[in-house]
Structure 1
Amino acid sequence: MAGTIRISVEGGIARLALCNPERRNAISSGMWRALSAFAADAGRHGDIRVAVLRGEGDLAFSGGADISDFDTARSDTSGVQSYDDLVEAACSAVESLPFPTIALVRGACVGAGAALAASCDLRIAADDAFFALPAARLGLGYDPRGVVRLTRMFGGQSVRRLFFTAERMSAARAGETGAVDLCVPGAEAETATDRLAQRMADNAPLTLRAAKLAIRASEGAPQQVLAEARRVAALANASADYREGRLAFAEKRAPRFSGS
């Protein structure tokens, strides 16, 4: 199957690249499974504090789901459901990561690629990036779970226009809708992303985890997510990091958080 997910971890920051350049980093079935596998493994390790997801090169974050899969994996009703479940599992797994995630968007961010970007907590886009939802040009029924995710990202009116017209939305316009947190010149996109990732990686991990869980609960995640947010917030309040934060503040120095 074409395409891979390249993963590296350094200094508490995991970097994932969608690698399928011949197809504008379209995401194959194997790549969706690899994203789910990364999320399952990453949640068990304390050395990752932030994850950055991007497309290989600067031409595309992702051109969407790899349509070359569709003749086999999405050719009938049962296949459609199985494939949609595969995509949803990967997007949900990324959403559920216990640390903050950033999507670095350059070039095209289309269809299921946009849904994957919407699964991240924050999005930084180069000024040459664009978003599109071309399902209506393909005649496919877009998974409602993905529509809900995209609506959270773009807002109701903007996602209507994207779906109904299949037009492109510029990064600048996406910034106006709130879908993009920062829009920067292409040459500055990686530096800006690295700076933001490092800023978050330097903060107290338990605090960030509790906040992320509570935010997810506010957006309609299952009730047990809020209970988990309460549990993790209590851990943060009893942690060595909380003591370190107070001491660093008193000593007017940068805190050194251990995640414990």
Structure 2
Amino acid sequence: MGRTVREDAEALAQHISEAEDLLAALPPRPERDRTQRQDAARLADGGRRLRDRFLRLHAESVYDTLTDGRTRHPRVDELVYAAAEAFPGLVPTRARIAAELRHIQAHKEGREIDQGIFFRALLRSPKAGAHLVDSMLLPTRRALDLLPGFRRDGRADLGTVLIERRGAAAHVTVNNQSCLNAEDNRLMADLETAVDLALLDDGVRVGVLRGGVMDHPRHRGRRVFSAGINLRHLREGRISFVDFLLGRELGLLNKLAKGVIPDPDPDAFPDRTVQKPWIGVVDSFAIGGGTQILLVLDRVIAAEDAYFSLPAAQEGIVPGTGNLRLGRLTGSRPARRIILGGHRIAATDPDAGFLCDQVVPTAGLDAAVEASVRELDSPAVVANRRMLGLAEEPADAFRAYLAEFSLVQAYRSYSEDVLEKVGRAWARPGASG
């Protein structure tokens, strides 16, 4: 490689096409013997090395082609499937990913790893990566469609999430009842839509995020903040790399941290983003992704019997941007105990002050929330949270982290230890992590 992007793209397409023909001649993955598994791994590894080399040479040219010179702002799902059409073999087509969805995670070919290679290369580029990060801060089409009704009614039931405007606050309640508010593709989409609505509605000045009342037998009648990633969905191959594992970091979590961009015009003045302070209310527990969400909020209020954990290392995956953000709050040693060792922190532990601001009896949570809303309802709070964000998490640091996360998480999702662990855990009712 090293000629023009079009010549190299044609060479890549030819190589991948030949490799796909050889792969198609093998039995399905669960039926392969040892030699056939080695052959499939060799074919996959060869294609991935070639894709990586192509993108190291041409990532910015590819991105400019897909975005018309960075004048369009496709989301990650739109971008990756446009790349499959424009550059055959570079990433899997929508049809190939759909075919993968017919299998449990352990029986897939791991084509999402090719998507991870693609996004690592784009996010490594200061120009393409910065544009992509901005694109994911734009409101979703669904939120824009729902916005007039939310402005009028002050309420939107999104399925697994309910958002209601009460005074100056938008109360976002998570109601993923089937799995103790465990995170899945649907919940991430609903939550991002709710965050968009809260940020875009001028009547809202503070956001409140809280788990709903559960009907699960072990927690019936109690609120639960989050049980983490849905391990059953992960085992069944229903956790999307693009829409969930990468999309929640660039979309939902980054919007909570940095706001939404209503207008992508780079000349927008005085600032392109709309930010608002966010309060998290933790009843019962915040596990995994739930704790990751707390790391980007401005105020966390917890019940006396609540606890926090980030058990991703025990599950074998990476806890999103938790590795980027947790140490900033706790310091390096506690962050390692929590992430690498699975240390669980009770709200009443001395260390809990790094993760929550106020601990009250469950009966006092509502009053504490209202007091915090009044305290954070100030233009000066918005200005200062913006400056704190710039100091704590520079844009290039976030982009560089997400670049490496893209590939590491894609590989971890198909690693033997992860597949073994979720295979053991999936049968537990409400399995999550």
Is this a same-fold pair by TM over 0.5?
yes
CA drift of 1:123 comes to 0.5
| Corresponding residue to 1:216 among 374, 386, 389 | 389
Aligned counterparts of 1:171 and 1:96: Cα–Cα separation in 2: 27
Aligned counterparts of 2:192 and 2:247: Cα–Cα separation in 1: 9
SS of 1:198's equivalent?
helix
Preserved CA contact (<8 Å) 2:192 2:252: yes
Q: Please state if 1:119 is matched with 2:284.
A: no
1:241 aligned residue: none
Aligned Cα RMSD in Å? Answer: 2.2
| Corresponding residue to 1:196 among 340, 350, 372 | 372
Unaligned runs of 5+ in 2: 1-158, 214-221, 260-274, 397-433
Preserved CA contact (<8 Å) 1:24 1:59: no
CA drift of 1:176 comes to 4.7
* TM-score for the superposition, normalised by structure 2: 0.46
Preserved CA contact (<8 Å) 1:15 1:51: yes
User: What fraction of aligned residue pairs are identical, expressed as a percent?
Assistant: 25
Aligned counterparts of 1:126 and 1:174: Cα–Cα separation in 2: 15
Aligned counterparts of 1:45 and 1:61: Cα–Cα separation in 2: 24
Q: Please state if 1:55 is matched with 2:214.
A: no
Preserved CA contact (<8 Å) 2:345 2:352: no
CA drift of 1:82 comes to 4.9
CA drift of 1:102 comes to 0.5
| Corresponding residue to 1:168 among 305, 327, 344 | 344
2:283 aligned residue: 106
2:237 aligned residue: 72
1:254 aligned residue: none
Alignment of 1:139-158 (within 5 A): 139-143=316-320, 145-158=321-334
| Corresponding residue to 1:39 among 172, 183, 195 | 195
Unaligned runs of 5+ in 1: 224-260
Aligned counterparts of 1:153 and 1:22: Cα–Cα separation in 2: 32
Q: Which amino acid aligns with 2:330?
A: F
| Higher strand content, 1 or 2 | 1
Aligned counterparts of 1:106 and 1:174: Cα–Cα separation in 2: 18
Larger Rg: 2
CA drift of 1:192 comes to 0.9
1:253 aligned residue: none
Q: Which amino acid aligns with 1:136?
A: A
CA drift of 1:18 comes to 1.1
Preserved CA contact (<8 Å) 2:170 2:198: no
Aligned counterparts of 1:110 and 1:174: Cα–Cα separation in 2: 19
Deviations, residues 54-80 of structure 1 (Å, cap 9, x unaligned): 111244210012223312244xxxx54
Moved more, 53-62 or 208-217: 53-62
Aligned counterparts of 2:178 and 2:304: Cα–Cα separation in 1: 23
Preserved CA contact (<8 Å) 1:105 1:124: yes
SS of 2:200's equivalent?
coil
Distance 1:190 1:96, change over 3 A: same
| Corresponding residue to 1:19 among 155, 175, 180 | 175
Aligned length: 214
Distance 1:174 1:149, change over 3 A: farther
Aligned counterparts of 1:196 and 1:169: Cα–Cα separation in 2: 23
Distance 1:138 1:113, change over 3 A: same
Q: Please state if 1:83 is matched with 2:248.
A: no
Aligned counterparts of 1:220 and 1:167: Cα–Cα separation in 2: 25
Moved more, 65-74 or 156-165: 65-74
Deviations, residues 6-47 of structure 1 (Å, cap 9, x unaligned): 110021100011112331211221121122223333333211
Aligned counterparts of 1:59 and 1:160: Cα–Cα separation in 2: 29
